[in-house]
Amino acid sequence: MLWQSFDHPTRQSDTFLPDMNIRASRGGRAGDRLVSWKTAGGDPSPGSFTYGIDPVTSLQLLTWNGSSPLWRSGAWTGYRVATDFIAHTSTVVYLTVLDIEDDASMSFTLSPGAPRTRYVMSHSGELVLQSWNGASLEWDELAAWPPYECSHYGHCGPFGYCDNTVAAPTCKCLDGFEPASGEWSSGRFSQGCRRREALRCGDGDGFFALPAMKAPDRFVVVGNRSFDECAAECSRNCSCVAFACLVWVGELIDAEKIGGNVAGSETLHLRLAGLDKGRRMGRKTEKTVSLVLASILLTCISLLILWIYKCKGLKKKRGKHKMLILGNLSDPEGFGEGSPTEGYQFPVVSFRDITAATDNFHESYMIGQGGFEKVYKAKLYGQEVAIKRLSRDSKQRTVEFRNEVILIAKLQHRNLVKFLGCCVEGDEKLLIFEYMPNKSLDALLFSTTRKTRLDWPTRFNIIKGIANGLLYLHQDSRLKIIHRDLKASNILLDEEMKPKIADFGMARMFNNNQLNANTKQVAGTYRYMAPEYAMRGIFSAKSDVYSFGVLVLELVSGVKISCTDQIMEFEDLIDYAWNLWKEGKANNLGDQSIVESCIPDEVMLCIHIGLLCVQDNPNDRPLMSSVLFVLENGSTTLPKPKKPVYFAHTNNEVEQRRGN
């Protein structure tokens, strides 16, 4: 295929759809823009209004009327995904920015279950967010930009700003400024504001912090710098009138007060003459110069400490974090250049939102814990989610986090857990998934009181569901994935007891023609591991087949692979199942809690498949396509399983690393 309209929004006229990319102009290439229709009456010829990425900075979005800017978003200075919760439809819109060396683009995705949603560049000059109403069979308007009259580009003039945090948004002057003309009282703000006191260039000038602002236009990017470095850069330059890890010279145009919880919100440090006087604006009582200076010094020290702390985190986020998300993740371990995951974009959630949703990770929200992670249940953007917080001091967990994000974010199947987003801020690494109300399979299967909820039809459907998920990973997905850590605790159950394969931290991608791979670092859970992987580090799709066989035998018997209490003198569950099969007593393997609900032929079929899957030679194990076909259709011609070779297991739940 040489061309498709979906990849060229400018040729699709006015509509921006989920997963569509709008690219910025780079290297002489014209950027993409949405183009309004000429009229509302159905004339699709190009209108005068357009929408796209700022061709000058690639750090903000604009709508234009011809060549004149009409509305401008906030600048992207530290975030790469903006989340917007639409209460009317309980939808989260994730607007994602990808900015790499030779390309910059944006796209958006929606939270699971969201109605059809789109952005439209309207004939009247508004960028409109719409969702489809199935009842009225019409598009409902959810939001529009510019939202207020004073939000129009430059409406409040130089050094004026639109305050949209009040009930009736209107133009105001920045602190230290006053209206430049008497027309403000008549609602005409284009002349903007003027300084109350001229700057002195180093003699008494200081910086006044204005929080929760949309950064003005016409900024200069000074790169990844700390708060101190940004302040020093602006202080040295007498033309610099403000900074926010961006720098402004000349007039401040199109500023806006937007609130602190909005993407693009910045603290603008405004240069004023006689900062002590500026600090006291609005006060009725004069204090002595010494008291004022002491107060200002204390405030500046507090602000400096706070901003050094914040900017250190921001610097990490914009350096280390950006590299991790946009760089390393495009080349996960086990797959070289040309990876199908390259350039993939996914929702990123702010750490602040997560700490708020979990009450700062309070124990009452925790629903699970492992050696290197804790799992919390929370409500995020109106949806119940599971949040996995990885250990902050484990380098190995960073690799697993990278693999899990890039793999599970790219995979979609009803039997794989659904990835909703992630968070990387400083040393914090968190993954967000759909919440599974019935938790993990092992929590039910190996509990004497709860296993009764798993009757035979439910267990048989779980077996088939896991087989479906593995077949997708090995054969049907765009990527060929080897899970490497398939076990009962990594199978989650939804409200209908349907299984979802989870935890892709150990997973590896294969090329389409690749059959196996070798690793010096064997990681996973013993007894679920195939012998060739545990002893020689060789893994393949047949390694997952072995783990699946163990799971099948566990589901039939209700016995954990590592448990020796119920298998008498036998080494483990596999050895026990094989001996029962050899003696013609395989029906005795079935869990007592499924006796009344089981279909004996199905149980025997599963035992037969389980023993075929755990054979010592990988070539003797069936492919998942064959397994699923037999589970769905039955078979009377299955080969006899060979005796599994017992190999020494150590430390069931610990990672083992092989030396050279």
Query: Could you tell me which of 58, 52, 67 has the C-alpha nearest to residue 121?
Result: 52
**Cβ neighbours for 129, distance < 8 A, ≥ 6 positions apart:** 86, 93, 117, 118, 119, 141, 142, 143, 144
Tokens of 657: 């690393």
Give per-residue burial for 524-536: e unless 16+ CB within 10 Å, then b.
Answer: bbbbbbbbbbbee
- Which residue pairs from 584-590 have beta carbons closer than 8 angstroms and sit at least 24 positions apart in sequence? 589/553, 589/556, 589/557, 590/556, 590/557
Peptide bond into 146 cis (omega under 30): yes
Residue 593 φ/ψ, nearest 5 degrees = -75, -5
Tokens of 647: 């190999």
Q: How far is residue 660's CA from residue 653's CA, in Å, rounded to a whole number?
A: 23
Contact 407, 479 (CB under 8 A): yes
How many residues are there in the chain? Answer: 660
Show the 3-state SS of 519-540.
CCCCCCCCCCCCHHHHHHCEEE
Query: Exactly one of 14, 32, 54, 485 is catalytic; which is it?
Result: 485
Tokens of 265: 């919100």
Q: How far is residue 396's CA from residue 323's CA, in Å, rounded to a whole number?
A: 17
Instruction: Tell me the angle at which helices 600-613 and 456-471 cross, rounded to the nearest 10 degrees.
Output: 40
Contact 132, 89 (CB under 8 A): no
SS3 27: coil
Show the 3-state SS of 212-263.
EEECCEEEEECCCCCHHHHHHHHHHCCCEEEECCEEEEEEEECEEECCCCCC
Residue 485 is among the residues annotated as catalytic for this protein: yes
Which residue numbers are catalytic? 485
